[in-house]
Amino acid sequence: MRWQAGGRSTNLEDRRGARGRLPGGAGGIGIGGLLVVLVLALLTKQNPLALLGVAEQLGGGTTAAETAAPLADPAEERQVEFVSFVLDDAQAMWAELLPRLGTEYRDARLVLFRDAVQSACGRAASSTGPFYCPGDEKVYIDLAFYNDLADRFGAPGDFAEAYVLAHEVGHHVQNLLGTNAAVSRAQSQRPELANALSVRLELQADCYAGVWGARAAADGRLERGDLEEGLTAAAAVGDDRLQREATGRVHPESFTHGSSAERVRWFRRGFDGGDPATCDTFAGS
């Protein structure tokens, strides 16, 4: 992917020096702990993020370590500048597009952290992966996730990394449009549809990421193989693949993000159409 280093985004909040602690003094539950949570989620038919949230709340309040100064890590600085570029570029596009949908855009902030972090949505460990919190309108990423994306999930490349961030910015767009709130109300009224509605929300964020990818391509920033990197990343984080890796079985009724095929299809739809109007995952079956 072609991009220009321009320093850090003004919407970047660096908490990497605030090494958040979890119960028992651990810096995060790790991959093994995550697999245990996924198994429990399958057995209890609960959202794994909810189970992780319970674990985080047991950790108590903010520690002195969590308020430490940001970590200056020269080895990561180029990656910090890359996510800054993608963040600013995606948000510039949505600032242009969203008024056409009747809503003014306001910037989200990107929080970089290590191990664990406190957000308006509660405490979260790195093992939960990148996430967006509508309560404070911030995207949270531990840059170590990108190592897992490449090494463990087989989805390397800068455009794969960009897809992840663009997906989270897509959740911010949903928040501004009122989609998040509408889904939350519907989930409260129809609990039996909670997972299915969550899947539609996530697939729409994938589609919105594809819309940004289309803009990047039109601006000449994509290189040979970049689109394939994005599609590979979308497939890598499908619920079916994650469940099969965790337990050897797939339980579609417990999906919260969509299958690999669905995630690829909706990212590709946004990319091919380049228009958020093509991203209505809530219409039809």
Say if 3 falls within a structural domain: no
pTM (two decimals) = 0.82
Domain count, the chain: 1
The residue written with tokens 């299958």 in the block is: 259
Instruction: Write down the pLDDT at residue 5.
Output: 85
Task: Identify the segments of the chain with pLDDT beneath 50.
Answer: 20-32, 43-44, 50-51, 53-68
Say if 5 falls within a structural domain: no
| Apex 236 CA angle, 279 and 167, nearest 5 | 35
Q: DSSP alpha helices (H): ranges in the chain?
A: 30-44, 48-57, 77-97, 144-151, 158-177, 179-189, 194-218, 226-236, 239-247, 260-273
Alpha-carbon 211 to chain mean position? 16
Say if 36 falls within a structural domain: yes
Instruction: Write down the pLDDT at residue 142.
Output: 96
Say if 79 falls within a structural domain: yes
Element (H, E) at 141: strand 138-141
For residue 270, which of 230, 235, 237 has the smallest C-alpha distance?
Answer: 230
Domain interval for residue 105: 12-278
Q: CA-to-CA distance for 106 and 140, rounded, in angstroms?
A: 17
Q: What amino acid occupies position 79?
A: Q
Q: CA-to-CA distance for 265 and 285, rounded, in angstroms?
A: 15
Instruction: Write down the pLDDT at residue 40.
Output: 52
Please tell me what DSSP assigns to residue 134.
T
Contacts of 204 (CB under 8 A, 6+ apart): 170, 174, 179, 266, 279, 280, 281, 282
CA of 27: how far to CAs of 21, 73, 103, 116, 125, in Å? 5, 18, 40, 7, 8
Say if 51 falls within a structural domain: yes
Say if 7 falls within a structural domain: no
Say if 234 falls within a structural domain: yes
Alpha-carbon 207 to chain mean position? 13
Say if 1 falls within a structural domain: no
Q: Are strands 12-15 and 109-113 parallel, antiparallel or unpaired?
A: parallel
- Output the DSSP codes for 56-70: HHTT-S--GGGGSPP
